[in-house]
Amino acid sequence: MALAQYDVSALLDALRGSDGIELVCDLIRLVLQELVETEATSVVGAATT
């Protein structure tokens, strides 16, 4: 899963604003989602080669 331009812009806007806690939550959510997808891919063997 790659970040869309909108996602990057939203993260940068949050960095510039006062939503520091929300930014951290969003980053953690993104990292955890990537980990879940990676684990699921390895379990089902659906990795692209």
Q: Which amino acid is at 40?
A: A
Residues 1-38 have pLDDT tens digits of 556 777 778 777 777 776 677 777 888 898 999 999 88
Q: Do the Cβ atoms of 31 and 39 come closer than 8 Å?
A: no
d(CA 49, CA 40): 16
Q: Give domain status of residue 12, yes or no.
A: no
What pLDDT is stored for residue 3 in this prediction? 61
30 exposure class (CB count in 10 Å sphere: 0-12, 13-18, 19+): middle
What pLDDT is stored for residue 49 in this prediction? 57
Q: Give domain status of residue 26, yes or no.
A: yes
What pLDDT is stored for residue 44 in this prediction? 86
What pLDDT is stored for residue 33 in this prediction? 92
d(CA 29, CA 26): 5
Quote the number of domains for the chain: 1
Domain membership of residue 23 as a residue range:
18-42
Q: Give domain status of residue 24, yes or no.
A: yes
Q: Give domain status of residue 23, yes or no.
A: yes
pTM beyond cutoff 0.85: no
